[in-house]
Amino acid sequence: MSKSITLANGHKQPQAARRPSLLLTAAVEAFRRFNPTALWGSPILFTLWLCAALATMESLLGRPVSGVATGLAWQLTAWLWLTLWFANFAETLAEGRGKARADSLKAGMNQLQARRVGALDDRQGEWVAATDLRKGDLVLVHAGEMIPADGEVVQGIASVNEAAITGESAPVIRESGTDKSGVTGNTQVVSDQIWIRVTANPGESTLDRMIALVEGAKRQKTPNEQALTALLVGLTLIFLLVVATLPLFLGYNQTQVPRLYLIALFITLIPTTIGGLLSAIGIAGMDRLVKLNVIAKSGRAVEAAGDVRTLLLDKTGTITFGNRMADELIPAPGVEPSLLSQAAMLASLGDSTPEGKSILALGAATLQAPELLPSDTVIPFTAETRLSGLDRNRHSYRKGAVDAVLAYLALSREKMPEPLRQAVDRIARQGGTPLLVCTQDRLLGVVYLKDIIKPGIKARFQMLRHLGIRTVMITGDNPLTAAAIAAEAGVDDFIAEATPEKKLAYIRQEQAGGRLVAMCGDGANDAPALAQADVGLAMNEGTQAAKEAGNLVDLDSNPTKLLDVVQVGKQLLVTRGALTTFSIANDLAKYFAILPALFVAAYPQLGVLNLMQLHSPESAILSAIIFNALVIVALVPLALRGVSLKGTAAELLRRNLLIYGVGGLIVPFVGIKLIDVIVTGLGLV
């Protein structure tokens, strides 16, 4: 099935149609980045540029100076520049995948106007450009108008279309004084009017952050990237020392080594593979996050997600659907199950709540669902009666809370049939809600309303457990109910009767044990815990306090997204680690594969290590340079896609060491030998 990208104008552009233009744009941009000032932030690529420039000078001076045949000199130089181009191409291709969305978002931001008002009773105000708004300004937005900036609803309630941000066409409700008061710029008010307090200056909004992420603009290296870069620089200095001392050793045997050979040898030995792919891996990780509609305030948050060891999840909406669903009908002694089912459906015909609809669906699984007749009288649920039902043909059908139905029938709890009383107690212990069903003069049975666990959530928790991540359920239920739901959902621990103080204390306790913690929230009372957590995912529809406290914002306001964020962070770290392992193993293998072939004439003892029996020193160095360039191209898809996370943490480590560690040692021997055969056969050396 072909995939497509939705643009701001609502049209869909197939990915297959835009792939050639994406590749062409990335290829052109890769040439533009030959500017050394653009490479200064990447020490490995800057070193590669310097070596390619020196090789070009050697080739221009010709054989009398370089000591290398002109044809071979230009081949080596060309492949050095191609290596740099391939590394640039990996980065520009990773950035280019988000360009379409960035352009779409930019188009939507252009020409936005705002009605700025001075007070909540001001209904006129003045029209200004959205770019003139500042944090703290008050704007009034009517139905049909675009929200000009990120903000918080301070008065009114409205239906808002957020399709430009979330991709969902169904409008959502935004209301002042609730946990769903946050609004995003470039979304449209569909009904009513709202007063909004602007919470972001130009350049700091959700859209601006998303555009910066997908374009790779202002991207700072994360702590892990900085540490890895320091390691790569250290390895580069070691190999520089190795190559610089070679002429001294060879001088004792009166052997001359052309400078161009030393330059090429140096490039084949330094970790150019991971150096060329490092930025692409990070940008691709950010791109995967943007596709989830999650905005990261910094790359540090994404890396922290990959190192998370404890995951705090709200029960309602994350682990369960939040709407109680009918799970079981328990008839009273002497009552046929079909009679209870029929009465429960009749009592729910006028009930439009999710609970009422679920009772109809459960009954319809065994009986034909009844229809509402014109002569029927619907009895709506009220907080006073806590009953709902239907009157039909002098018969009454009711369902409701246990004590309310007993009062309706003028029965005491002691006079309830013992099996029904036991069923009611069992349901309450298991965290469910019991509803009694009756006619005007007879108790028929119990409906078990259950907070349904989301399908597949237990398997996801199991997968996280395999990766070494503990899951903790947060709920306001009593400990007995919480324990029952936790056991069914498969979480590792739970916090019952949770309060903001309890959540904060639990996070600090976990962090004191050296574990990184992630959690999500949307209310002002979640802000302290979001700020304390290493990864705080705030809901975009939530309060401004929550969004400021968290370091990630979910535009879809879906608490389950926290699981995906952790997986994206984990995949980013695993991919970087796997390709670093491959690159370093490659360098070690190339060291032992090339040096014997190059210097066996000067030191015949090296013949023992000349396992590949390369044709000549010239073919050895050319084959190594070609292999060094092509391996970057071969690994670009993996850098962009990411390494698979299947299996436990131990299995993942073992598999990656085998594939990327042992594989990194073997592949250079095979690849360089194959290229040596080809270049020799074609007469290139």
Q: How far apart are CA 64 and CA 51, in angstroms?
A: 20
Residue 314 has pLDDT above 90, yes or no: no
| Cα atoms found within 13 Å of the Cα of residue 164, Cβ hemisphere only | 24
pLDDT of residue 383: 67
pLDDT higher than threshold 60 for residue 18: no
More confident site: 405 or 600: 405
Burial of 370 per CB tally in 10 Å (0-12, 13-18, 19+): middle
Token match 């079909």: residue?
338
- Which structure tokens are listed for 32? 């533009």
HEC states along 58-107?
HHHHCHHHHCCCHHHHHHHHHHHHHHHHHHHHHHHHHHHCCHHHHHHHHH
Contact call for residues 423 and 429 (beta carbons, < 8 A): no
Helices 617-641 & 259-269, crossing angle to 10 degrees? 30
Clarify whether 314 is annotated catalytic.
Answer: yes
Under the banding of pLDDT at 50, 70 and 90, the label for residue 6 is very low
Q: Taking residues 582-599, report their average pLDDT.
A: 82
Which is more confidently placed, 556 or 668?
A: 668
Nearest in space to 310 (alpha carbons), one of 525, 464, 206: 464
Residue 265 has pLDDT above 80, yes or no: yes
- CA gap 278, 302 in Å, rounded: 15
Q: Specify the pLDDT at position 211.
A: 66
CA 40 to chain centre: 29
Tokens 């943007």 -> residue: 290
Is there a contact between 9 and 186 (Cβ–Cβ < 8 Å)? no
| HSE-CB for 484 with a 13 A CA cutoff | 14
Q: Tell me the percentage of the chain whose pLDDT exceeds 70.
A: 89
The type of residue at 394 is: R
Neighbours of 544 (CB within 10 A): 18
Helix (H, G, I), strand (E, B) or coil at 202: coil
The answer to which of 108-117, 361-370, 533-542, 571-580 has the lowest mean pLDDT is 108-117
Return the closest-CA partner of residue 516 out of 534, 494, 502, 491: 534
Question: What's residue 600's pLDDT?
Answer: 74
Place of tokens 């080594």: 257
Mean pLDDT of 229-237: 90
Average pLDDT over the chain, rounded to whole?
A: 83
**Residue 461, both tokens:** 């928790």
Grouping H, G, I as helix, E, B as strand and the rest as coil, residue 589 is: helix
What is the reported pLDDT for 603? Answer: 75
pLDDT at site 48: 94
The angle at the Cα of 235, spanning 233 to 241, to the nearest 5 degrees, equals 105
Domains of the chain: 4-98+214-289+568-681 (no CATH), 113-147+151-198 (2.70.150.10), 296-319+454-555 (3.40.50.1000), 323-452 (3.40.1110.10)
- The token duo for 437 is 């069903």
Q: Is the pLDDT of residue 635 over 80?
A: yes
Q: What is the pLDDT of residues 388-420, one digit of tens each?
A: 999 998 899 999 988 899 999 999 888 899 999
Evaluate whether 59 touches 80 at the Cβ level (below 8 Å): no
Residue 479 CA to residue 473 CA, distance in Å, equals 12
Per the model's pLDDT, the better-predicted residue between 468 and 178 turns out to be 468
- Cα–Cα distance measured from residue 609 to residue 590, given in angstroms and rounded to the nearest whole number: 12
Tell me what the mean pLDDT of segment 267-289 comes to.
85
Collapsing DSSP to helix, strand or coil, 475 comes out as: coil
Q: Is the pLDDT of residue 195 over 60?
A: yes
Q: Which of 287, 314, 556, 676 is catalytic?
A: 314
Instruction: Check pLDDT > 80 for residue 481.
Output: no
Q: What is the pLDDT of residue 645?
A: 83
Tokens linked to 86: 């391939």
- The answer to whether residue 9 scores a pLDDT higher than 60 is no
Strand arrangement, sheet containing 308-314: 294-296, 552-554, 535-539, 516-521, 308-314, 470-474, 493-495
**pLDDT tens readout for residues 145-176:** 988 888 999 998 888 888 766 666 667 888 88
Phi then psi for residue 439, to 5 deg, are -100, -170
Q: Which two tokens stand for residue 139?
A: 């704007």
CA angle 252, 255, 256 (to 5 degrees): 120
Longest C-alpha distance within the chain, in Å?
Answer: 117
Percent of the chain with pLDDT over 90: 25
pLDDT over 70 at 212, yes or no:
no
Q: How far apart are the first and last CA of the chain?
A: 47
Sign of the CA dihedral with 509 first, then 510, 516, and 518 last: negative
Which residues are annotated as part of the binding site for Mg(2+)? Answer: 522, 526
Identity of residue 34:
F
Whether residue 537 contacts residue 526, with contact meaning beta carbons closer than 8 Å, is answered with no
Residue 219 has pLDDT above 70, yes or no: no
Whether residue 337 is predicted with pLDDT greater than 90 in this model: the reply is yes
Work out the pLDDT band at 17, boundaries 50, 70, 90: very low
pLDDT tens digits, one per residue of 103-129 = 655 665 656 888 999 888 888 888 988
